[in-house]
Structure 1
């Protein structure tokens, strides 16, 4: 995603690694689109979502991969 004015991004330490989240409003559809990236122990997990919440999907993926 190319960054535009009004885009929001944030990085925090959680889930045992660094999680960065990037959100923008898709002008064509008027919906929010979010990309979340976790980097942990050399593993990168990316979740993309649009117009629908994914409650703790990243946490569930981390639990499945890392135990």
Structure 2
């Protein structure tokens, strides 16, 4: 997962930001889920397009899924 330094307040997110990690509370033990910011309305939505009220967001870390070792 991401480190604590990668979390930013949702007010800092650009309108229409793609899929990111969202967290409702400020604590590191609060649940994390994937969601996005609607480009037309500016509302935060989860993957099922339900409106949510997160406090923080973090970019989803990129990683290589390919395993070159056989």
Give the shorter-chain TM-score range: under 0.3
**Higher RCO (Cα < 8 Å, 6 or more apart):** 2
Structure number having the greater helix percentage:
1
Decide which structure has the larger Cα Rg and report it. 2
Structure number having the greater strand percentage:
1
If the length of structure 2 is used for normalisation, what is the TM-score? 0.26
